[in-house]
Amino acid sequence: MNTLIRTYSGSFSPLKDQNFRTYLIGQAFSLIGTWMQTTAQAWVVWELTRSESALGLTVMFNSLPLFLLAPWAGTITDRYNRRKLLIVTQVVAMLLAFILAFLVQFDQIQVWHIYILTTLLGIVNAIDFPAQQTFIGDLSGMGQVRRASTLNIMMLQVARLLGPVFAGYILSVAGAAIAFWLNGASFFIVIATLFIVRSEQVRNDGKGTSGQQFMETLNYIRSQPRMLDLMILSGIVTFFGFAIIINILPSIADTVLKGDAKTYSYLLASSGAGALLSTLVLLPLSQGSRRIGLIVCGAALWMGGWFFVLSNSYVLAISMFAIFCTSLGAPLVLTTGLGVLQLLAPPNMRGRIISLFTMVSFGMQPLASLFIGFSAEKIGTQTAILVNSICLLVAAGLMILFRVGLRGWELSPHAEYAPVQPVLE
């Protein structure tokens, strides 16, 4: 018991650093606003189209840049000042939120507007995501990077819980435009914190084009079996799992459960609550275990099982509980992947490795969005979820059976750091 308490309390040690603490406060406001916009935007698309395919296309346009721009985004993240990059990305994201708010406020919004704006936001996110994840390591230091990544994800899960609840209330009382205005305003806080904090960054001064450096990173990943395993599992979970939560919850709320915007917000809040509990309790405790492979494979199987339950539910309470249980597993796969990959990566390659992780996991969402969206329209929402759950179970099972090294893998810190000194930013 004492060991568990020490392990759990030690997970919060990065908060002793003022820079990291300041940055996390800014992220809290911004992420709540982001999830409010995500929730409200999906509902606006649903009201405009009543189409699962349109929901899938919206996510596809947002995610496709993560896949296509990864070779350039990783190089940019490693070569340039990450703090200044993040200031630029946050300013652009703020402007896009205000444009969306204006269009909805004055009843000018059309679905193609959302497609364009979400594509532009996806381009911003393609640079922002790897820069943000590696910036966490710059703030906390590599000795604390896994714990710092977990705390950042904790804040994300709090936002996933609160954002949809706030959005559901705002949608029913004041309309979607207010959610977009509030999201835009939230960026002022995170931009202010980025001007305040200071970090130590290892720059990549290597030669070669972005494509050549991308291939160098790809070859390095291929030479590291466990890093490759983490990327494959994260891609599987994103493709067959996150596609359900991100794309077709509005369809579940409306066509399956016969509900409204509040029903949709309850489903999203259930997902956020499960992910939050996982991040607050399971992730910190899992950091005391060295058997990372068994943890991530077990979490993927757990998610597949509960998606199977969701595919057979027509009752709100059961659907909420199934989504809650499913979301317990997702952070164990994706957050563990983000933290461990940074720990294993050479310092001057972290941005490129995280960008590649983004490409093969979150960047898979365009294909996943099309798959779940069109299959839901052709064979029904519940049948589409059933297919995804079976695919997730089979894929995770095959990883356990055939990736023998993954089952016995014990985590140890990477020792082959590049001889490059950090620069105070």
pLDDT at residue number 317 = 93
Residue 201: strand, helix, or coil: strand
Least confident span in 194-208, 291-305, 351-365: 194-208
Catalogue the E-assigned strands of 92-247: 200-201
Cα–Cα dist 251/376, whole Å: 9
**145-160 per-position pLDDT tens digit:** 777 777 877 777 678 7
Of 16, 274, 233, 21, nearest to 136 (Cα)? 21
129 vs 203, more confident: 129
Tokens matching residue 15: 């908060």
Please, what is the end-to-end C-alpha distance for the chain in angstroms? 41
Q: What is the pLDDT of residues 179-235, one digit of tens each?
A: 999 999 999 999 999 999 877 665 555 566 666 777 887 888 888 888 888 888 888
Nearest of 332, 376, 71, 363 to residue 210 by alpha carbon: 71
For residue 198, give the H/E element and its range.
none
The DSSP call for residue 349 is: G
- Residues 169 and 166: their CA atoms lie apart, in Å, by 5
Average pLDDT, the chain: 81
**pLDDT score of 343:** 76
What is the predicted pLDDT for the residue at 295? Answer: 84
This prediction has a pTM of: 0.72
**Type of residue found at 93:** A
The per-residue pLDDT for 402 is 80
3-state secondary structure of 424: strand
> Which pLDDT does position 73 carry in this prediction?
80
Q: Taking the C-alpha atoms of 202, 207, 210 and 216 in order, what is their torsion angle to the nearest 10 degrees? A: -80
Cα–Cα separations (whole angstroms), residue 415 to 147, 290, 291, 345, 346: 19, 17, 19, 9, 9
User: Whose CA is closest to 161, among 250, 31, 56?
Assistant: 31
Backbone angles phi, psi at 418, to 5 degrees: -70, 140
Query: Under CATH, which architecture does the 15-200+209-406 domain have?
Result: Up-down Bundle (1.20)
Mean pLDDT for 3-16 is 67
Summarize the confidence of residues 311-324 as an average pLDDT: 92
Residue 5 has pLDDT above 70, yes or no: no
Predicted confidence at residue 421, as pLDDT, reads 42
Would you state the pLDDT for residue 87? 93
Query: In whole angstroms, what is the distance from residue 365 CA to residue 415 CA?
Result: 33
Residue 410: which pLDDT band, with cuts at 50, 70 and 90? low
- Is the confidence at residue 175, as pLDDT, over 70? yes
Q: Domain coordinates of the chain in residue numbers?
A: 15-200+209-406
Q: Would the pLDDT of 417 be above 60?
A: no
- Residue 209: what pLDDT? 67
Nearest by Cα to 338 from 320, 308, 361, 368: 361
pLDDT at residue 332 greater than cutoff 50: yes
pLDDT above 60: residue 342:
yes
- How much of the chain, in percent, has pLDDT values that exceed 90? 23
pLDDT attached to residue 386 = 92
For residue 423, give the 3-state DSSP assignment.
strand
Express each pLDDT in 250-270 by its tens digit: 888 888 888 887 888 788 788
| Mean pLDDT of the 405-417 span | 57
Q: Which residue has the higher pLDDT, 91 or 168?
A: 91
Under the banding of pLDDT at 50, 70 and 90, the label for residue 367 is confident
